[in-house]
Chains A and B, each alone.
Chain A
Amino acid sequence: MIRLENIQFGYVKSKRLFDDVTLTMEPGHIYGLLGKNGAGKTTLLKIMTGLLFPNAGNATILSENASLRKADALQNLYFLQEEMYVPHLKIAQFEAAYAPFYPNFSHEQFEYYLSEFELAGAPNYLDKLSHGQKKKALIAFALATNTQILIMDEPTNGLDIPSKSTFRKLMASAADDSRLVLISTHQVRDLHSLIDMVAILDNGHMLLNASTYEITQKLLFDVDDSRTTEGTVFYTEETPRGNYQVKENVNGLDSNLDLELLFNAAMMKKNEIANLFK
């Protein structure tokens, strides 16, 4: 559904942001795209959506060249950007203006999502709402479009704690086998229970692209060697509750994936983690 092949890109010719990014994303999953600030997460999303053109390589979305921005592909793709633009319209007017572009848009779902975000019947113009409210209104719209591909850049930025819970609940209910959801974020704790595929971008390369199942098969998330002392330790974090560890899962033990620990481990031991998932 989304395919990036040997993508090379740089805003200036002398400094490449991506050297050789290759990535395939399939429907039926919620992907979490993780990376440090400036790693190029937003840039990669823009390349996927045809908003930026790669210097070399191919970006394909729904079997179409992303750079062509064909209407058929755009109808099945919604990109929720981090810094949102909202026109001077009320929510109902926004729906009247932009919902017709999406053939699978559901008014009932939109109303439901708005009510879940406590925005139903909001009388204000969208551009007069707070940042969090704008974001919630656009998340509700994005979900109601029922596009095959939903891409969100830092969707939980600016949301209060109850809204983050609502977001996770709605995302979980909106995901299905025909839909691909890609969420880019550096707030990994917000996505912990949501994503089932993890992609980590670092230094112009895809460091990791694996399912949460595969990750917990190969890595063990342990505290103070409580489960086993075997396996290479990739990362240790001292906390008042003990030493949290990420180590090689040599005995095939079950553990709960901790995205933050995984990310830190991947940053500390790049080659080892990358080789483990090759």
Chain B
Amino acid sequence: MNIKNIKNLFNAYFIENWKTDLFQFGILAAIVLFGTLTSNSGGTYSNIPVAISSIMLMIYPERLFRNLHGASSKIHYLSIPASTGEKLLVNMLLANIYMVAVVVLACVVGYGLAHLYWIMRGFDVAFHHGPHIYPSGVLFIYMLLSVFFFGSIYFRKRTTLSTFGVGLLIGVIFSVLFSLILWVNGMMLVPKGAAFHDYVWSLDYSVDISEKVEETLLYVLMGVMIVYFYALSFLRLRETEA
């Protein structure tokens, strides 16, 4: 890893993208502003901006790797004098820190302006807490981000949609498999004369572990998934040909 190459990659990114980023920042801030002003919840933080922010974060990797999706722009990107690791690291920092900061800042600005408007209009508005942030929720967003990050390198076009589609397909397949296993097992285990539905619901699925351990296991699992998808992204980018 060469710090100078990393600095140069950031420099090139900001020269090329600062206007688009500023535009997205403005759009999101405006959505939060008008969403908050028009909400019937008396100035409480609407969930709509959270959803839009999440979508913005998920589609951002497609923009980061857009040069990989055209024949000549791919050659341009792959020929930039920086190693695969440096290119990947810079885009990871942009997706996981920079764009998250842009999105959070846009929400804060939009929400703050809405309250400023109410105060100027003379309404007695108490500042409400923002959305409650669960660490597992944040980690889940970062895990999704790593999946879309990989998808934006793996797929050649419409990468966000393709990743979403494949993710959905895998989800459906696993659900069907799980249901099938449960059904087959259930059929074998259900005592004669008992209703299958009643039997399945009567089973105790809980595992005897503390909530803390359960939570830790969830974090570890998501952490492993994040590392796994970024490792896959590195390997895929290294093997990408023009």
Contact = CB atoms under 8 A, between A and B. Distances in A.
Interface of A: 46, 49-53, 69-71, 74-75, 77-79, 81, 83-85, 87-89, 93, 96-98, 100-102
Contacts of B15: 89, 93, 96-97
Nearest to A88: B16
Contacts of B8: 100-101
A69 B12 contact: no
B241 A100 contact: no
A83 B16 CA distance: 20
Interface stretch (B55-63, B66-74, B191-199, B206-214): B66-74
A52 B75 CA distance: 10
Interface string B133-171: 000000000000000000000000000000000000000
A80 to B, nearest CB: 10
Interface string B69-103: 01111011011111110100000000000000000
Interface of B: 2, 5, 8, 11-12, 15-16, 67, 70-73, 75-76, 78-84, 86, 239, 241-242
15 contacts: A46-B75, A46-B242, A51-B79, A71-B2, A71-B81, A74-B79, A74-B82, A75-B81, A81-B75, A85-B67, A93-B15, A98-B12, A98-B80, A100-B12, A101-B8
Nearest to A73: B81
Nearest to B237: A69
Contact of A85 (B70, B81, B84): B70
Contact of B79 (A49, A52, A93): A49
> For B2, B70, B71, B72, which residue has the most chain A Cβ atoms within 10 angstroms?
B72
A20 B72 CA distance: 27
A52 B71 CA distance: 13
Nearest to A101: B81
Contact of B75 (A74, A85, A88, A100): A85
A69 B78 contact: yes
B11 A71 contact: no
A84 to B, nearest CB: 6
A100 B11 contact: yes
Contacts of A100: 8, 11-12
A162 to B, nearest CB: 26
A70 to B, nearest CB: 6
B16 A97 contact: yes
Given A46-B242, A52-B242, A71-B2, A79 B16 contact: no
Nearest to B76: A85
A42 to B, nearest CB: 10
B242 A70 contact: no
- Give the 9 A-B residue pairs with the shortest CB-CB distance, closest first: A74-B81, A51-B242, A85-B72, A85-B73, A97-B15, A97-B12, A75-B81, A85-B76, A101-B81
B50 to A, nearest CB: 31
Contacts of A102: 81
Q: Which of B2, B75, B79 has the most CB of A within 10 A?
A: B79
B16 A70 contact: no
A222 B73 CA distance: 46
Contact of B82 (A51, A96, A97, A101): A101
Given A46-B242, A79-B79, 8 more contacts: A46-B241, A71-B81, A71-B83, A74-B80, A77-B81, A81-B72, A97-B16, A98-B80
A241 B41 CA distance: 91
Contacts of B67: 85
A49 B81 CA distance: 12
A74 B81 CA distance: 5
Nearest to B67: A85
A244 B78 CA distance: 45
A100 B13 CA distance: 13
Contacts of A70: 83
Given A71-B2, A87-B16, A97-B15, A51 B71 contact: no
Contact of B11 (A46, A77, A78, A97): A97
A93 to B, nearest CB: 6
